[in-house]
Structure 1
Amino acid sequence: MQIRVKVKPNSKAPKIIEEEDGSLTVHLKSPPVDGKANEELIKTLAEKYNVPKSDVTIKSGLSARQKLVEIDM
């Protein structure tokens, strides 16, 4: 399953918002430095979809706010 994700780093509280078009907006506490926000995104999505972190892959947008994430279900 592939999902379009908009990431908002440095948020006060982590949360996931499901948009009407099927994409997600994910608020993360981590800063976008040294891949910390990407690590938190993978952990957050793995918990949401109840899969191991190894099943969540960022396909594109590693250094961008708009990402394409693949989740092996």
Structure 2
Amino acid sequence: MSWLSHCADGSVVIALHIQPGAKRTELIGLHGEALKIRLAAPPVDGKANAALLAFLAKELGVAKRAVTLESGEASRQKRVRVSGASPERLAALLTGNRTD
């Protein structure tokens, strides 16, 4: 999966394409070599970035502190590092199959 990179420390880095200011926050699917996520939060004062990290933490079943923005703070193209997410939850993120 080109949108997902595994790191030596066990964490993963996810390549994302973000669409802020949408009607609702949702995962859309692949957009080129990145996952596309629509965010209801506006792209001002870091609100969209905070909403993105909270959304990913919830979807992957990890603490908010386990999700950090690696790059793309002011861009639609972002890279997010996630620690402690199971491979099954990561696969479910793309397929839309929740494992709650």
TM (norm. structure 2) is 0.68
CA shift digits 1:30-55 (9 cap, x unpaired): 11100000000000000110000000
Relative contact order (C-alpha < 8 Å, sep 6+): which is higher?
A: 1
Structure 1 residue 62, shift from structure 2 partner:
0.5
Question: Is 1:27 matched up with 2:35?
Answer: no
The runs of 5 or more residues in structure 2 that have no matched partner are 1-11, 85-100
CA shift digits 1:10-45 (9 cap, x unpaired): 001111123176631110111110000000000000
CA distance in 1, matches of 2:48, 2:22: 11
Residue identity matched to 1:60: S
Q: CA RMSD in A?
A: 1.5
Aligned residues between the structures: 73
Q: SS state of the match for residue 58, structure 1?
A: strand
Given candidates 4, 26, 29, the residue that maps to 1:18 is 29
Superposition misfits of 4+ residues, deviation over 6 angstroms: none
Of structures 1 and 2, the larger Rg is shown by: 2
Q: SS state of the match for residue 45, structure 1?
A: helix
Identical columns (%): 37
TM (norm. structure 1) is 0.92
The runs of 5 or more residues in structure 1 that have no matched partner are none
Question: Is 1:59 matched up with 2:98?
Answer: no
